Chains A and B, each alone.
Chain A
Amino acid sequence: MKNKMNSNLLIFLFLIILAFVVYSVWQRGVQAPVFTCRAHIVSEVATKTCDKTSVFDIFLSINEKDKGYILISGNYSCPNAEPTPVEGVIDFTYSKEGDYYSIYMGGRGDKFSDVSSVLKYGNLKMKITNLDHGVYMLSLPNDILMMCTKA
C-alpha cells in the first residue's frame, strides 16, 4: 500500500514537473504581443546612378491592436554629394499568420525607398526570431532584413 502511494506521489510530481517544463518552453516560444526594437544600419549599395551610402536608425514598434509603426531617422548620399536627410514615421497594420507577421504599410513618400528597397513594398511578410541578450532577427521569407535590439 505504502509502495503504491509512493509510486502515485512520484507520478504526480513527475506530471507537475512535466507541466512546468512544457509551460516554460511554450512561454519562451510565444512572441509577446507588444514588441519594440531598434537598430542602426549602415549600407553601401551600388546603383546605376551612384555608389550610395546610407546611415540611419530604425525603431520598430508592434502593438497589441494590430497596428504599429517604423520610425526612421538618417541620411544617404552619393560620393562627392551632400547627404540627403530622411526622417519620418511609417504607420502600418498587421495580422499574425503562423510564424510571420503580415504587415500592410501605410502612406509613405518615395524618400523611404531611397533608404531601403524593402520600404517600397506595400505588404511584407516578416518573421521575428528571438536570439539571446535581447537581440532579434527580422527576416522576410527569402531574405534577412536586419538584427535589432529590444527597446
Chain B
Amino acid sequence: MGQIIINGLVRFNTLDGTLLSLDNSMDMVTLNHVNSDLLLLLIKHNGVPLSRETILNELWEKRGLSSSSNNLNSYISLLRKALVRCGCEGLISTIPKYGFLFEAEIVFDDAALSPQPKKVESETLAHLPGNKIINSVTHSFGRGKLKIVLAMLALLLMVFSPDIYDYLRLKSIRTKLFNIEQCQFYLADEKTKRQDTTSTVNTIKSMAEKANMDCKHTANVYFFSDTYRDASGRVSRENLLAYCPYTGNAACENFFKVEYEK
C-alpha cells in the first residue's frame, strides 16, 4: 500500500487518493485521480522545480490525452485547497513562467514508493522511474476492476435473489431427515419435528415400505404426525406421508393412517 506522510500532518494514500489528517482533526479528503497523480508527481520531485510542460507531459500526453496550461492551473488550485483543508498550507509554490515547486517533509511508509536518490529526483521527468506511472495506472485499473466485480455481484444478486429467497424460505419450512435412494424425506411441521427422531424415522420407513414408494426417481416425501386424545380419553395417532415426485405433473400421493391406542 502506498502511504506517504506529508509534514507529519497528513497521510496520503496513493491507492485511493485520500488525504487523512493524522490527528483526525479533519474529515478525509478524497482527491480525483488527476490530482492524486499530480500530488504523487510533485512528491517525487520534492524540492525540485517542475516545468508545466513536464507535468502536462507526465499526466496527460504520455497517456494519449491532451490538456492545457489552464487545466493544470485548475488542478493545482484544487490540490492547494485540499492540502490547506488538511493543514498543509503553502506547499506548492508557483514559479512564474516556468512551473511549480513542491516543498515538504516527506516520509514514505511503503518501500515500493520509497524516494529515489536525490540525483535521480533532480533529473528531468523523462528519466523518472517507470514504476510510478505504472502504479498510477494500476490504481485506476484496480478501481475499474472493483467496479466490474461489484456490478457482476449486483447482477448475480438480481438474477438469483428469487432462488435465494426460495432456498431460505424452504429452509425455514422443512427439515431434511434422511434419504432412501432418490427420495428425500422431510419434516414440515413443528409438532412432528419435536417428536423422537428415531421413532419418527422408523414410522416413516414402515409406511414408505407399505406404500411401495418409487424411490428410483427423484421425489420429496413429507411426513406429519400428531396425537389426539378425545373426551373419553381415547388416544389416536394420525400419520401422513406425502410422496411428491419431481418430474412430470404427477399428483402428490398422500398416505394417511389413523390408529387408536389400546
List A residues at the B interface (Cβ < 8 Å). 2-3, 13-14, 17, 20-21, 24-25, 28, 38-46, 57, 129, 131-135, 137, 139, 143-144, 146-149, 151
Which residues of chain A are near B173, meaning CB under 8 Å?
Answer: 129, 131, 137
- Asked whether B220 lies within 8 Å of A44 as measured between CB atoms, the reply is no
| B208 CB, min distance to chain A CBs, angstroms | 13
List B residues at the A interface (Cβ < 8 Å). 30, 32, 154, 157-158, 161-162, 165-166, 169-170, 173-174, 188-189, 211, 220, 222, 224, 226, 240, 242, 244, 246, 249-260
- Asked whether B252 lies within 8 Å of A39 as measured between CB atoms, the reply is yes
| A119 CB, min distance to chain B CBs, angstroms | 13
- Which of A57, A135, A143 sits near B220, CB closer than 8 Å? A135
- Asked whether A133 lies within 8 Å of B251 as measured between CB atoms, the reply is no
- Asked whether B244 lies within 8 Å of A144 as measured between CB atoms, the reply is no
Number of residue pairs A-B, CB distance < 8 angstroms: 99
* 4 closest Cβ pairs, A-B complex: A147-B242, A43-B256, A147-B252, A45-B258
- Asked whether A146 lies within 8 Å of B162 as measured between CB atoms, the reply is no
- Asked whether A131 lies within 8 Å of B253 as measured between CB atoms, the reply is no
- Asked whether A38 lies within 8 Å of B251 as measured between CB atoms, the reply is yes
Which residues of chain B are near A146, meaning CB under 8 Å?
Answer: 240, 242, 252, 254, 256
- Asked whether B222 lies within 8 Å of A147 as measured between CB atoms, the reply is yes
- Asked whether A143 lies within 8 Å of B226 as measured between CB atoms, the reply is yes
Closest to A24 in B: B162
- Asked whether B165 lies within 8 Å of A132 as measured between CB atoms, the reply is no
Give the complex CA separation of A61 and B220 in angstroms. Answer: 23
- Asked whether A40 lies within 8 Å of B189 as measured between CB atoms, the reply is no
| B8 CB, min distance to chain A CBs, angstroms | 27
- Asked whether B260 lies within 8 Å of A21 as measured between CB atoms, the reply is no
- Asked whether B251 lies within 8 Å of A42 as measured between CB atoms, the reply is no
